[in-house]
Amino acid sequence: MKTSSFFQRSVRHLSRILAVLGAAALVEAGATEFASVAYGRGNYVAVGQDGLIMTSADGAAWFSPDAATVSHLRGGAFGNGAFVAVGDAGTVLSSQDGVGWTSRHSGANSGLRQVTYAAGLFVAVGDAGQILTSIDGTDWTRQKSGISTALRGVTFGNGLFVVVGESGMVLTSAKAKSWTRRATGTETCLRSVAFGNGTFVAVSPRRGIFTSTDGAHWSRGGVANDSYLYAVTFADDQFLAVGCGGTILTSPNGVTWDRRNSDSTAGLFGVTCGNGILIAGGANRGVVLPSLAGAPAGK
């Protein structure tokens, strides 16, 4: 497969930034793990352990605003002019600029794992089958999922919200209110889900990639099922999945995957794209890696 110009630019940029960013900005902030990265209003926002939040306009210079919580933050998103971060103990924070954050009452009674913005709604998912929705990131409504299984990821595509979680759980909803459970044929944990090119792709830290064109019917996809994957996104007409040991995989369709060089051995837990740069947050002192994708391994 021919590597796109976007990914070619990314791998050239990576070697210049990795040493400076990974060893400096985030170590000084005391971070040990970043779980999610969002992009909006020209800024990247990474969230993670002990309520730490980092912001950057270019993916190279990072700033840590005053902490608004000590809870671990697990997910982040941007939409309707606001950043939203979610985390342990039902924590929800919102911000207009990624710098000043306000704690919001979520009504959740356990941890929230991820949040997305689509179709005019923030949708947050978490432990014990919790699903919350908000128009503005400030006022939240609990929705009935009908399950108690931990939910880990959420996306939107083809007019449908798709939520994934433990034990192969998949739920779908057109308006994020009434949810339908879907059979996946697997009991593995589904950690993250993304939509692109007419396909939903869900990934697992237990060696699994699953695809669906309608959110209802799922099949195991790809030749990369030996990989422990934590997050997936869609950018530059390709899926990008990240995981254990600095793993980075790309695919145009969720079925055929190429392994990419990352120059990192850190576990990568979250990934986003903005302004032509891919950034992931992960372990190893909370390293955030700009420009993640490169040439296939060995090239």
Phi and psi (nearest 5°) for 16? -75, -35
Q: What is the pTM of this model?
A: 0.86
Q: What is the pLDDT of residue 178?
A: 97
Contact 270, 232 (CB under 8 A): no
Residue 7 lies in a domain: yes
Q: Report the distance separating Cα 115 and Cα 133, nearest Å.
A: 9
Residue 194 lies in a domain: no
Q: What is the pLDDT of residue 294?
A: 41
Alpha-carbon dihedral angle through residues 280, 286, 289, 292, given to the nearest 10 degrees: -40
Residue 227 lies in a domain: yes
Q: What is the pLDDT of residue 284?
A: 58
Give the count of domains, the chain: 1
Identity of residue 98: G
Residue 56 lies in a domain: no
**Could you list the residue range(s) of the whole structural domain that residue 291 is in?**
1-30+222-299
Q: What is the pLDDT of residue 226?
A: 64
Which among 168, 180, 171, 175 is positioned nearest to 206, based on CA atoms?
168
Contact 261, 12 (CB under 8 A): no
Residue 18 lies in a domain: yes
Residue 154 lies in a domain: no
Residue 228 lies in a domain: yes
Q: What is the pLDDT of residue 225?
A: 54
Q: pLDDT truncated to tens, each residue of the chain (299 aa)? A: 444 444 444 433 333 333 223 322 333 334 457 889 999 999 999 999 899 899 989 877 888 898 899 999 999 999 999 999 999 999 999 999 999 999 999 999 899 999 999 999 999 999 999 999 999 999 999 999 999 999 999 999 999 999 999 999 999 999 999 999 999 999 999 999 999 999 999 999 877 899 999 999 999 876 555 678 999 999 889 999 998 888 888 999 999 998 887 777 778 888 888 877 777 777 754 445 555 444 344 33
Residue 87 lies in a domain: no
Which residues lie closer than 8 Å to 37 by C-beta, 6 or more apart?
44, 45, 46, 47, 76, 270, 271, 272, 279, 280, 281, 288
